[in-house]
Amino acid sequence: MKVEAENKVDTSTQPKTGADLFVESLIKEGVDTLFGYPGGAVLPIYDALYKAQKSLNHVLSRHEQGSIHAAEGYARVSGKPGVVIATSGPGATNLVTGIADAMMDSLPLVIFTGQVARNVIGTDAFQEADVIGITTPITKHNYQVQSLSDLPKIIKEAFHIASTGRKGPVLVDIPKDISASLFEEVNDTDFHLPGYQPTTKPNPLQIKKLADALAKAKKPVLLAGAGVLHGGASTELKTFIEKHSLPITTTLLGLGSYPGEAELSLGMAGMHGTYAANTALYECDLLINIGARFDDRLTGNLAHFAPWATVAHIDIDPAEIGKNIETHIPIVADSKEALKALLSNTEESPDHQEWLTELKRFKQDYPLWYNNPKNEISPQWLIEAIHKVTKGDAIVTTDVGQHQMWAAQYYTFTKPDRWVTSGGLGTMGFGFPAAIGAQIAAPDETVVAIVGDGGFQMTLQELSILQEKGLPVKVIIVNNQALGMVRQWQESFYEKRYSESLLTTQPDFVKLAESYEIRGMKIDNQEDLIHALPEVFSYDGPVLLDCRVRKEENVYPMIAPGKGLNQMIGVKP
Amino acid sequence: MKRIIAATVQNRSGVLNRVTGLLQKRQFNIESISVGRTETEGVSRMTFVVEVADNQKLEQLMKQLNKQVDVLKVSDITDKAIVARELALIKVMSNGQVRNEIQGMIEPFRASVIDISKDSLTVQVTGKTDKIEALIDLLRPYGIKELARTGLTAFLRGHQPQVTELAPYSLLK
């Protein structure tokens, strides 16, 4: 009898709620994965998700920050918007770091937050926060849904805004009474956004100007930023570079846009960039920037940045052009469109053989270098070892700090979209959850989270996701028992007063991993590491490797704060 | 330098906060801002008077405003042929003795007295910023009890002279 009774409950005839409409809208947008955490104001939404388990894979984090960083990793690797759900008040405020991070690094996210019911908004109700007010400066756009009939249209707009133009996070705040209410009629979902019309095609006159400048240049250099990756323009970039034999450097976030081991690649530029890259930026007479925003960690002191160069800047965001650096040839366009136009409009290559020879000599004479005592593990050596075992083909995520710079310097990428790091905001605790999102986006790829012992402790609770979802993420802790970059700056600029930067009290990371039923290993010498690494990467499941490295190692070369590209310290003698 | 920026925006909740928050985040100084509806339903007009250091900063300001999804159009109308008006309400200390004196003084400004009490009167004046400032200066010696200004609102004149006809004159210089 009971069975019969259950059979009578046919969900399709149950009246639909706002939450059901929400789920339908997501499926229409092609969403299959959600990163989230339930709570009071999103109970109706989670009820609808329960019914839609077959079509939507919900990844439950253990802190909302974990959800959003995972969504960022997912977005960076898949190119699709990462979708996040959190409840009102604390759920939403816990997302703030990730939203700001995605805004700085132009990652497409669509974030849904629950809100208290409309009739109590503004009364300091339980778990109420002004999420729209809080997130306005750190989102590309945000919405509070005022009426259920607008919900499908808002969701459509949100996905459009997040994933077009300069990508970024869009937040939709949904009051609980809206997701709970029954709906009858939906407004038209066609939208028109007269204030949002990104320019994607370059102006032909500006392209011509750049072609002319290129033909005349004696010392050209190309700087590739994340815009090349966001625009999916790596193939076009490679063709363009090879067509004119242009030396190329990348920003931190642009790594992988051009094969790092190629002859024309100068490596990464900036504060911890290579001598060849920084010197090229300093001495060049034509600088072609595609999709980089001339961040201060790249440029150093502006007075010493490309002082003799004609600067061409290609960017999809017009506000980035001329923001930090005076630009002579501004081109507002999508990186792919601009490169296509350049490929078909640049006949003449520059005459720059001498410049290439000079740069080649810089590369040979002043490569990256480090101390490598055999009885310890130098962190740089560790990264090189990881590179070797993974054949340079893994998806690598990091936090911020020393380990991030070493990974950027020594893990040479040959393919695009394999490097997931927190560049602009510099967020500790980003790398590990981002690796989870990356692994979900690319289930068949090797994903390694290279994290510091400090950053990992900020989001390590997400080990639960690895356990729950059986994701084979490899976590390698570059453990120097310190906030390494803070310690390095205290050593260099604060006379070795190591104020609160030494993390000598730590959990036993191996036991920690094991408590989540994850394989844990601890290694402190080169020989063991050489044996362990192939095992780590061939193991069919997640592994956490606590790798004890030389504590006193610093990141070099370096442009000290306030100094210019031509004032590097720590270059190979 | 002082610039007059006119923007049309979608009249959606939070749009004023978006715009002023943006200006604050990018460290622009707003001298005045006025907002109101326009001839088109759902579209509002904002007029800002801002102090910017140089042209590069001005360009940034315009671009950042333009980037907002709810901002439809932004223009720097400082050097164009424009009509620009501001309204000020000035409550001045006055007893019977000076009342007539003040009345006479404000007349050339085409200002009017809109409220009188035993010991004060309120003047309403409309016009360009410099005119309003001139009147305030004149009234100051009598003792200003309260002052409220709407901020400048402005738009382009119906006819824009060709560039060659434009005198090198700017309203706010």
Span B118-145, pLDDT tens digits: 999 999 999 999 999 999 999 999 999 9
A500-553 confidence digits (pLDDT tens): 999 999 999 999 999 999 999 999 999 999 999 999 999 999 999 999 999 999
A206 is catalytic: no
Q: Where do the structural domains in chain A lie, given as residue ranges?
A: 17-180, 204-365, 379-548
Domains identified in chain B and CATH numbers:
2-76 (3.30.70.260), 82-153 (3.30.70.1150)
At the topology level, CATH places domain A17-180 in Rossmann fold (3.40.50)
- Measure the CA–CA gap between A302 and A324, rounded to whole angstroms: 8
Condensed to tens digits (0 to 9), the pLDDT of residues A477-496 reads 999 999 999 999 999 999 99
CA atoms of A401 and A456, how far apart (whole Å): 12
Is A413 annotated as catalytic? no
Does position A6 have pLDDT exceeding 70, yes or no? Answer: no
Annotated active-site residue A485? The verdict is yes
CB-based contact B63 A318, cutoff 8 Å = yes
Would you state the structure tokens that stand for residue B146, as one six-digit string?
């309260």
Chain-chain contact of A195 with B21 (C-beta, under 8 angstroms): no
Find the residue in A nearest to B9 (Cα): A195
CA distances in angstroms from A437 to A68, A125, A391, listed in the order given: 9, 33, 22
Options A485, A521, A558, A568, the catalytic residue: A485
Answer yes or no: do B66 and A319 touch at CB < 8 A.
yes
| pLDDT computed for residue B154 by the predictor | 92
> Exposed, middle or buried, A470 (CB in 10 Å: 0-12/13-18/19+)?
exposed
Q: Is the peptide bond before A81 cis (omega within 30 degrees of 0)?
A: no
Q: DSSP characters for A382-443?
A: HHHHHHHHTTT-SEEEE-SSHHHHHHHHHS---SSS-EE---SS--TT-HHHHHHHHHHHST
Q: What pTM was computed for the model?
A: 0.94
Shortest CA distance to A285 belongs to which of A331, A348, A216, A238? A216
- The rounded distance, in Å, linking the Cα atoms of A183 and A149 is 8
Inter-CA distances, A82 with A55, A59, A101, A216, A560, Å: 16, 12, 13, 44, 36
A64: annotated active-site residue: yes
Which residue, among A121, A131, A132, A136, would best test binding to B if mutated, counting the most B CBs under 10 Å from its CB?
A: A136
Closest Cα in chain B, distance from residue A144 (Å):
9
pLDDT at B20 over 90: yes
Nearest to B10 among A144, A195, A326 (CB): A195
B21 to chain A, any CB pair closer than 8 A? The answer is: yes
ipTM: 0.90
Partners of residue A322 in chain B, C-beta under 8 Å = 56, 59-60
Contact A137 B69 (CB under 8 A): no
Mean pLDDT computed over A260-285: 98
CA distances from A367 to A6, A277, A562 (A): 71, 11, 24
| A127 to chain B, closest Cα gap in Å | 21
**Residues of A near B (CB-CB distance < 8 A)?**
132-133, 136-137, 140-142, 144, 146, 161, 193-196, 317-319, 322-323, 326
Q: What is the second-level CATH architecture of the domain A379-548?
A: 3-Layer(aba) Sandwich (3.40)
Q: Give me A193's structure tokens.
A: 């956004």
A4 is catalytic: no
**Binary contact (A195, B9; C-beta < 8 A):** yes
For the stretch B71-122, pLDDT in tens is: 999 999 999 999 999 999 999 999 888 999 999 999 999 999 999 999 999 9
Which CATH code fits A204-365?
A: 3.40.50.1220
Fold match flag (A204-365 vs A379-548): yes
Six token digits for residue A374: 């055999």
- Pairwise CA distance, residues B73 & A319, whole Å: 15
pLDDT digits (tens, 9 = 90+) for A137-191: 999 999 999 999 999 999 999 999 999 999 999 999 999 999 999 977 777 788 9
